[in-house]
Amino acid sequence: MYNLYIEEENISGDDNMNFFRGRSDVAVEIAETNASRDFQGIKKTEFSNKGIDVTRIDILSDRASEILQKDKGRYITINLKNSFEDYSVFENAVETVFSEISSVIKDLIGKDDFSAIIVGLGNVDLTSDAIGPDTIKGILVTKHIRENLPQVYDSMRFNSVTAISPGVLGQTGIESSVIVKAVCGEVKPDIVILIDSLASHYPEKLCGTVQISDTGISPGSGVGNSREKLNFSTIGVPVMTIGVPTVVDTVTLTGNVIYQILEKLRDGTDKSELSIYDNLSSAWNESTADILKRKISETSLDFIVTPKDIDCLVKKVSHLLSISLNKALHNNISQEDINALLN
């Protein structure tokens, strides 16, 4: 059951924090960061599916795209809170991710019988960047069955699925975009589905949300190492992107710490704490934040940070994504049959 409300061109954010944000690939976070700016062309939709919160940001105008530095299109963020602590919540999260993936696929190519290439972007040897390659391990690929066992393929009512993990430039010497375009030229899929790790403004959201978009992606953009874009214009095939935030930068962490300290001081009853709050909050403005951000970048403390249990989190999120994707790619096959074929 969906509970739906729509809020057009009205994106809220915390002004005290917005000017101290660092890198983020998550559209709803970027929209909140720019909430105080005067522009139009964003539609925000929020709803709940089986207790799983979903936020959709539609970037509709060139002006909004320029300010947010995100391509025009649809960005769906699914909150995975508690999904790995309670199996029933996990199942609801799988159903929600599956539903949103299926919806985007249908809107992009308009048919149930299709061929797809799943691309796991990232460095499998770097845990925080391994969401894509790890998800690929659980994908049911079927293109070879279609070519070598057509009777089995037809009886199982598969869709033709290919999966690749192109690695990163430092491993292969080849840009991911070059590999993806070459494979697309050979396989000629109806759709390309990219899976990648992202950066977030919020430490608590790392491996706790999934973003699905119909706009493509620039690999490495979250850590300031943006490569050639992968989208319809560069590949020539409709593209869907699935991203999971796994890292946060030092600027954002610093801002979060300062903000939480200010909140604690503001809510305190000690007069000396309230006095400190007054002094700090009066000095806390966009100019101060810019100075602090610049000073951080000038030190050796300009880090990209990931949770201490990132290895477990990546495995859990990758498992959830692979289940959801298999359901969307092969919607005529039961989960039991998919598991049997994978094993």
Q: What is the distance between the alpha carbons of residues 135 and 129, in angstroms, rounded to a whole number? A: 12
Residue with tokens 């460095």: 123
Domain count, the chain: 2
Out of 262, 281, 298, pick the residue that ends a domain.
Answer: 298
Question: Are 49 and 161 part of one and the same domain?
Answer: yes
CA atoms within 13 A on the CB side of 264: 6
DSSP 342: H
pLDDT tens, residue order, the chain (343 aa)? 334 333 444 454 455 555 556 678 999 988 887 776 666 889 999 999 989 999 999 999 999 988 888 999 999 999 998 889 888 999 999 999 999 999 999 999 998 899 999 999 999 999 999 999 999 999 999 998 887 887 877 777 889 999 999 988 888 899 888 999 999 999 999 999 999 999 998 888 999 999 999 998 877 655 555 667 899 988 999 999 999 999 998 878 877 777 778 888 888 778 888 888 888 777 777 777 777 777 777 777 778 889 999 999 999 999 999 999 999 999 888 888 888 888 7
Question: Are 261 and 192 part of one and the same domain?
Answer: no
Q: What is the residue range of 221's domain? A: 2-251+304-342
Question: Are 180 and 281 part of one and the same domain?
Answer: no
Question: Are 275 and 173 part of one and the same domain?
Answer: no
Question: Are 107 and 131 part of one and the same domain?
Answer: yes
Question: Are 281 and 161 part of one and the same domain?
Answer: no
Question: Are 192 and 287 part of one and the same domain?
Answer: no
Which residues, in sequence order, are bridge partners of residue 89?
none
Q: Are 305 and 248 in contact (CB under 8 A)?
A: yes
Question: Are 247 and 259 part of one and the same domain?
Answer: no
Q: Name the percent of the chain lying above pLDDT 70.
A: 90
Question: Are 276 and 240 part of one and the same domain?
Answer: no
Question: Are 207 and 329 part of one and the same domain?
Answer: yes
Q: What's 172's domain CATH number?
A: 3.40.50.1450
Question: Are 181 and 274 part of one and the same domain?
Answer: no
Helices and strands (H and E) in the chain: how many: 15, 10
Q: Dump pLDDT digits (tens) for 33-76.
A: 777 666 688 999 999 998 999 999 999 999 998 888 899 999 99
Question: Are 278 and 203 part of one and the same domain?
Answer: no
